[in-house]
Amino acid sequence: MSVVSHIAAQRTDHGVPHALSCRLLGVSESWFYKWRNRRPTATERRRRKLDLKVRIAFETSGRTYGSPRVRAQLRADGEQVSKKTVAASMARQGLVARPKRRRRSLTRPDQAAAPAPDLVRRDFNADRPDHKWCGDFKHIPTQQGPVYLATVEDLYSRRMLGFALSDTYPTAALAQAAINMAVATRGGDVRGVIFHTDRGSQYTAEALDNAPAESFFSTLQLERLADRKYQTKTQARRDIANWIHTWYNHHRLHSTLDMTSPINYEKTHQTT
């Protein structure tokens, strides 16, 4: 069937006559028309149906999901399918997720600030909401100049609780705006939360009292920014805010959360 599809595609995509393609591939025209016009078998129909579902899950993710996340999405939709089957379908269709790249941090150490204690000690897991948060900054280019994003993420569910965007280089005020949003998201009382940040001057300013940082920006870069060129700062701010709220918090599957989204994880694992 792959030979038949190839011959058909040559005429559709490149205008190559069926007779010429058949002759070059060493098959008869009668054989080609027989196989092209025959009804697909039950196995072929199931494969085409699965291929379509795999492609939809892949495209919905912004072409960023590999086979494990595609399979998890299909299983969440009620499709019982193995990892090997999903991987074979993606290979058959040429679906390849974009690789991650290391990013450069915007934070710069404040040599004059008193060192904050490391309360996390590289344990970036939490057994309850509002136990450990983390925050950082990201530079996002546009045709009008850069915008800067500050974030606050709950390490329990990887939920982005708060974020803020600015047209000027990040300061403590931008970090404070993101923290204020996170506090409001959690109802106003977040006493006892450990907030983990890089040792940057934005976080060691007098208005804040923070420690070393960790962030989600490689995911943002890979899954949203890699294939976008923003014309205006307003366009960038709206698109990023929409991506965080609509996709990242509500739908993106996380391997650390048993392949569920941050908000679904919190709903499934509600604690008092």
- 3-state secondary structure labels for all residues of 141-207: CECCCCEEEEEEEECCCCEEEEEEEECCCCCHHHHHHHHHHHHHHCCCCCCCCEEEECCECCCCCCC
Return d(Cα 91, Cα 54) in angstroms, integer. Answer: 11
Beta strand pairing status for 194-197 and 132-140? parallel
- Contact present, 264 and 175 (Cβ < 8 Å): no
Same domain for 34 and 154, yes or no, is: no
Amino acid residing at 97 = A
> pLDDT means per 10 residues in the chain (272 residues)?
73 78 82 74 84 92 90 90 92 83 52 55 77 89 95 93 90 91 92 76 47 63 89 95 94 90 90 48
pLDDT of residue 206: 44
- Domain assignment present for residue 34? The answer is yes
Return d(Cα 184, Cα 174) in angstroms, integer. Answer: 16
Tokens (6 digits) for 66: 């590999």
- Contact present, 182 and 173 (Cβ < 8 Å): no
pLDDT of residue 113: 52
Same domain for 177 and 235, yes or no, is: yes
Domain end marker among 93, 124, 156 = 93
Cα 175 to its chain centre, rounded Å, is 23
Q: In whole angstroms, how far apart are CA 29 and each of 10, 24, 37, 76?
A: 14, 11, 12, 44
Same domain for 189 and 253, yes or no, is: yes
- Domain assignment present for residue 110? The answer is no
- Contact present, 259 and 253 (Cβ < 8 Å): yes
3-state secondary structure of 223: helix
- Domain assignment present for residue 222? The answer is yes
Domain end marker among 93, 108, 140 = 93
- Tokens 């309850």 belong to 128
pLDDT of residue 82: 92
- Domain assignment present for residue 126? The answer is no
Find the CATH number of the domain harbouring 262: 3.30.420.10
Same domain for 254 and 176, yes or no, is: yes
pLDDT of residue 211: 35
Same domain for 88 and 137, yes or no, is: no
Same domain for 141 and 226, yes or no, is: yes
3-state secondary structure of 89: helix
| Tally of structural domains, the chain | 2
pLDDT of residue 263: 95
Domain end marker among 37, 68, 93 = 93
Same domain for 80 and 143, yes or no, is: no
Q: In this structure, what DSSP letter does residue 15 have?
A: -
Same domain for 248 and 146, yes or no, is: yes
- Domain with 248, as residue range(s), is 132-268
Same domain for 78 and 140, yes or no, is: no
Return d(Cα 215, Cα 49) in angstroms, integer. Answer: 38
Same domain for 74 and 153, yes or no, is: no
- Domain assignment present for residue 245? The answer is yes
Tokens (6 digits) for 59: 């495209």
Same domain for 89 and 138, yes or no, is: no
Q: In this structure, what DSSP letter does residue 198 have?
A: -
Same domain for 57 and 152, yes or no, is: no
- Domain assignment present for residue 109? The answer is no
- Domain assignment present for residue 169? The answer is yes
